[in-house]
Structure 1
Amino acid sequence: MTPTDDTAPRRRRLVDLSPLRASPAFARLWFGGAIAGVGAQMSVVAVGLQIYDITGSSFAVGLVGGFALIPMIVAGLWGGMLADVFDRRRLLIASSIVAWLSTLGLVALATWDALLVADGARAAVWPFYVVTTLNAVAATISSTTRSALVGRILPADQISRAAALNGIAFGATLTIGPALAGVLAASIGLAWTFAVDAFLFTFGFLGIWMLPALPRQGDTVVAGWPVLREGLSFLKRAPTIRMSFVVDIVAMTFGRPYVIFPALGATIIGGSSLTVGALTAAGAAGTILASLFSGPVARIHRHGVAVARAITVFGVFAALFGLAVAVMGMIEHQAGPGWSGIYWPALILCGLAMVGMGASDEASAIFRQTMLIRAVPDEMRGRLQGIFIVVVTGGPRLGDMYAGTLAVATALWCPPLLGGFAIIGLIAVLTRVRSSRSGAAFRDYDDRHPVA
């Protein structure tokens, strides 16, 4: 995984900031997206806390992802097709406005629930499912369009560096947003937490509004099933890109412990919303660390091998998370009830495992995103990004369903521990079987000669 020629970039340890200098449009989009992302992650945590507070069920929290899954799949595929047909700036503006309005809907619902609590009642859960599904659909279209336009506003040699920068922004949002959500939810309430998200969204919207016009390149086409089918046909002929989707689905389906965080905060670890925010932020801290030390990415060319190794490490840390929960649960059971506040040994061990998961997942994401932009032509990029967004957003929701269901049926430690071993085994089988065309193409992928 080191260069074999003499033209490799100067050795660098820390992240390369050159994409921010190369493209002012990318810089504005990056800064605005980072600020708005903090609010979006606050709402992700706050919704889980809101539903768990109403129902007391991890399964009910997992249903947030379950109900949104099919609409998100449709939105990703259709939104990617729209991004290849219409002006990407206009499409991004429209989808972002819908996401903002749905956030205001969460403000109204949380306020209504708070008023009912004062009268000894609780709000129904289903409106939260409806509004979060609408938000997820709009966010999916926005993410698809945003990813598709990066190749238009940046030079090709800046793509991997931009992916690392996006990791820093994403990690920062996952660190600050959940931690801030935990503090705000415990101090001023969930309704105000959603309101802060609505305010922070305006910064992201400014970055979107200031983008240049980004119309379709090439011949004009009419949006519809033939255009969407053309994208699916391209994916069938692209074994490398197809395998990058498969391995990510494996990781996200079996390595997502987030849905059990509220239950951990209420039982084994304690700390309620503060623990939920801390564990989520720990995963994001790992993302930031991987991105901060992403200097070597420009010298790594065998991206398929890099992704396989990163996801395997991700599986190891997922299993360690489950093991930590199991051990701490047995200690808590032997000690009996009565712990108050936060059980720090459990929080520290689980937090360290989340740091490792966040770092390895980000390493995988940098190379997968670069492969997708470099190996796919611009006129096809929106549709492939749409499928990619379905994978990266739908996979975690499958993971939420898996973790929530298995946690209810067995124990809190079971989903991450079994899932970690499943990830290690499946990645080894998928990528190391040379008779598989997709597996062979994935392991042989070289960024100096990108082939989908």
Structure 2
Amino acid sequence: MRALIADGAFRRLWLIGATTGIMRWLDMVVTGIYVFDVTGSPTWVAIVTFARAAPMIVGVMFGALAARMPLGRLMRVGIAAVALTYGSLAILAALDALAVWHVTAGALVIGTYWSSENSVRRTMMCAVAGMANTGTAISFDWATINGLRLAGPFIGGVLYAAFGFGATCVLGVACFAAALMLALGMSTGSVAALSGQRRIWDDIAESFAVVRRSTTVQGVLAVSICLNFFGFPYGSMIPVIGKEVLHAAPADVGLLSSTEGLGAMLGAIGLTAFVRPAWFGRAFLVGSFAVALGALGFGLSQAYALSLVALLPAGLGMSWFAAMQSTQVLAHTPAERRSGIMGVLTTTIGLGQLGTLHIGWLASQIGAAEAVVVSAACAVAALILCAWRWPAMWRDRG
């Protein structure tokens, strides 16, 4: 860890993740509160949340582009685009002209940046850290982001309650402007090793061929689809359940997500400090089940305090799942195919995000809490099936 922090390039990449990471979760919670306040519809909350994740569906294209273009340049363009988006939303809010469709369009742009994270910034981190230290580097990155997640949603809830949606957008401008300054100080990095004369579709096909050759990667991708479809969509219902079932104020709704962030931070710290490479597959699967079971407990809870308790293991599992899914995929992929295969991973995550639309529709039929219970129970069942079908992903000792 000391060697990684001493490396200037790694330190800048880590700080870029930290300065932008505070908005990753703050934005999701505050946007959900705003949309629900304006529309009163959990379905609309789910639609806007899905718009933020929809670009992940074409993540395989980001991976193919990242394998052909300077990663540093791609990262700077993405950061600048998000800063401009937050600035536009802040101006519209100040003019009292903000509408839900503006927020939805902004979510698409912001989601495009987050969809490029695996193929761009984390691939750069892997190159800087070296394969032997990738697990530590990715775990440390997630520990930092989840530590900020502890404060981000709560700060967002307080800002929203005191000054409105526009204030959170101003914070977004500041965070991404700081990240852009850090990115401008970095060298562009090497252009992709793949020949520019190859067709992009050939590169995508080769990425899928890598998946076919590795049962471990197949298992990780299958779990990613299942958990993102049935497990993680509970997050889009936190603002709805917080206001409808728990009757919480905006700051208290933010605290719910912050508690989830506390669990994620503790999990990431434990992962960085104690979990060895031989245990990575098991940590990935344990984290996946912790997310599903924590979501199930949250859906069943009718009390604010119990909801806080349920979100702790969900957050812990989220950090183990997120760090280990990237690490496992990178560890079982040839170096020249890493950007491409991380794009495939992003696409599987994006396909799973269709579950956000599903849970939004289900919530409109049977209620938000009941929809979370049904979805989380399906996640548990799907994970059991994946663990049985692809045992290599948790038995593999690297």
Highest Rg: 1 or 2?
1
TM-score by length of 2: 0.92
- 1:424 counterpart = 2:377: no
Match of 2:158 among 179, 183, 200: 183
Q: Is the contact between residue 107 and residue 192 of structure 1 (CA under 8 Å) also seen in structure 2?
A: yes
Q: C-alpha deviations, 1:406-430, integer Å up to 9, x for none?
A: 1111022212222232222221122
Distance 1:317 1:215 in 2: 42
Matches within 5 A, 1:283-432: 283-295=260-272, 297-324=274-301, 328=302, 346-395=303-352, 397-432=353-388
Q: Which residue of 1 aligns with 2:396?
A: 445
User: In the TM superposition, what is the alpha-carbon distance from 1:215 to its structure 2 partner?
Assistant: 1.8
Q: Which residue of 2 aligns with 1:98?
A: 81
Residues 145 and 217 of structure 1: is their aligned pair in 2 closer, same or farther, counting only changes over 3 Å? closer
1:423 partner letter = A
User: In the TM superposition, what is the alpha-carbon distance from 1:39 to its structure 2 partner?
Assistant: 3.0
Q: Which residue of 1 aligns with 2:184?
A: 209
1:161 partner letter = T
Q: Which residue of 2 aligns with 1:170?
A: 145
Greater per-residue helix proportion? 2
- 1:84 counterpart = 2:67: yes
Q: Is the contact between residue 239 and residue 441 of structure 1 (CA under 8 Å) also seen in structure 2?
A: yes
Distance 2:274 2:349 in 1: 21
Q: Which residue of 2 aligns with 1:4?
A: none
Match of 2:224 among 245, 248, 273: 248
Q: Which residue of 2 aligns with 1:28?
A: 12
Q: C-alpha deviations, 1:305-330, integer Å up to 9, x for none?
A: 33223212322222111221xxx2xx
Q: Which residue of 2 aligns with 1:119?
A: none
Q: Secondary structure at the match of 1:212?
A: coil
- Aligned-pair identity in percent equals 21
Distance 1:363 1:142 in 2: 17
Q: Is the contact between residue 110 and residue 191 of structure 1 (CA under 8 Å) also seen in structure 2?
A: yes
Greater CA deviation, 365-374 or 49-58?
Answer: 365-374
Distance 1:393 1:299 in 2: 29
Aligned residues: CA RMSD: 2.2
Q: Is the contact between residue 57 and residue 351 of structure 2 (CA under 8 Å) also seen in structure 1?
A: yes
Q: C-alpha deviations, 1:257-282, integer Å up to 9, x for none?
A: 22222222323212331132111111
Distance 1:43 1:57 in 2: 18
Q: Which residue of 2 aligns with 1:42?
A: 26
Residues 111 and 394 of structure 1: is their aligned pair in 2 closer, same or farther, counting only changes over 3 Å? farther
TM-score by length of 1: 0.82
User: In the TM superposition, what is the alpha-carbon distance from 1:248 to its structure 2 partner?
Assistant: 2.0
User: In the TM superposition, what is the alpha-carbon distance from 1:164 to its structure 2 partner?
Assistant: 1.6
Distance 1:106 1:392 in 2: 27
Unpaired segments ≥5 residues, structure 1: 1-15, 117-122, 329-345, 434-438, 448-452
Q: Which residue of 2 aligns with 1:6?
A: none
Residues 218 and 253 of structure 1: is their aligned pair in 2 closer, same or farther, counting only changes over 3 Å? closer
Q: C-alpha deviations, 1:172-225, integer Å up to 9, x for none?
A: 232221111000001111111111111111222233223333223545324622
Q: Is the contact between residue 68 and residue 194 of structure 2 (CA under 8 Å) also seen in structure 1?
A: no
1:84 partner letter = A
Distance 2:210 2:130 in 1: 24
Distance 1:106 1:173 in 2: 23
Residues 279 and 153 of structure 1: is their aligned pair in 2 closer, same or farther, counting only changes over 3 Å? same
Distance 1:50 1:320 in 2: 26
Unpaired segments ≥5 residues, structure 2: none
Q: Secondary structure at the match of 1:221?
A: coil
2:85 partner letter = S
Residues 286 and 132 of structure 1: is their aligned pair in 2 closer, same or farther, counting only changes over 3 Å? same
Give the total of aligned pairs: 396
1:227 partner letter = D
Greater CA deviation, 138-147 or 77-86?
Answer: 138-147
Matches within 5 A, 1:203-282: 203-216=178-191, 218=193, 220-222=195-197, 224-255=200-231, 256-282=233-259
Distance 1:386 1:378 in 2: 14
1:108 partner letter = I
